[in-house]
Amino acid sequence: MADSSAIMVVPAEPTPTRHPLTPPVPPRHALSPLADTIAQYLVFAPTVETWFLAAGRGKRPLVDVGRVDIDLRKDPRRRAAYLDAVRALTPFPVGTRFRLRGAWGQDDVTVTGFDFWNGRIVATIAAPPNVDSLARVSTTWIATAERTDSVTPPVVDTCARGPVVLSDALRARATVVRDSIEQWLKSQPPPPFTRLVASEHTVTTQAAGCFGHGRVLAMAVDLRAGNNEWIRERMVAIDTAGVVQTLRVDDLRFKAHDLLYAMDGDGDGVDDIAARGLTEAAGGTVVMRMVPPNRLQRLASGFAWESR
């Protein structure tokens, strides 16, 4: 017979785990049927992405934050619905802070709205007058845009800024290096098709800057054929003594690069390179950072295009 005096022990409820407070997510307003349809064609950059590309388009500075896979140019109703969908869904809402870095230096800006440009979702920004002026007058104004939540002091520059003047001896050395690389590229196996062999041509671009360890000139020598269907590229850096160092390029998306100019894109006090990236029937704008000892790594890219 069971003991009636036994005490039943009821297990205590587990203590709920405490999580750090997170800001409430504002409710998403209902989209119109047209905006909801267009929303299915919007592809934003990942929410964890930190580095973006800013460029001057339409005489104003814009930041590329994604792509839109639907034509918006001919229908004002579509454009209005697109803007409504972007404002509702963007992971980078109005007020998001970016730090722009380019050849002129760096400035902090905030997102003021959105637009589209050649199939890209772009953020309009409130920028200082000097940035607006540069984007308005320069067709090749490029900057990195680092997402940040505060104003921080600039990094101490390790380079003596100003126009880089190459000596006559260094220019002559660069010509010899270019010719040598071109000869080596042409000694390698040719393109696999006759039509590509017939269209094979050489493209050489260079950028002067302060790339660390005395390196003052970066050079890209390419063999290209067809509509950039076949590309063979080699990139080097040359120091003030004329010593050449091969640069490894980590940019899997683009096979060729037209170097535009040097700029400190990551704020480490050493120049990086702004370039036009190219592949078959497509291209875009990239900023590649100098990574010791001899590597170029893509830091930011944007404003991609296709001609298919």
Rounded distance between C-alpha atoms, residue 218 and residue 122, angstroms: 30
Mean pLDDT computed over 9-19: 48
Mean pLDDT computed over 160-171: 84
Task: For CA atoms 207, 239, 299, 69, give the dihedral sign.
Answer: positive
CB 89 within 8 A of CB 121: no
Q: Which helix (H) or strand (E) holds 39?
A: helix 33-39
Q: Which residues pair with 53 in a beta bridge?
A: 64, 144
CB 121 within 8 A of CB 302: no
Q: Which CATH number fits domain 33-147: 1.10.3470, 3.40.630, 2.40.30, 2.60.40?
A: 2.40.30
Domain ranges (residues) in the chain: 33-147, 168-306
Q: Report whether pLDDT(171) > 70.
A: yes
- Give the phi and the psi of residue 225 in degrees, each rounded to 5: -145, 150
Q: Report whether pLDDT(47) > 50.
A: yes
- Quickly state the pLDDT bin for 2 (edges 50, 70, 90): very low
pLDDT cut 70: percent of the chain above it: 86
What pTM did the predictor assign? 0.87
Q: Cα 155 from chain centroid? A: 20
Q: Report whether pLDDT(153) > 80.
A: no
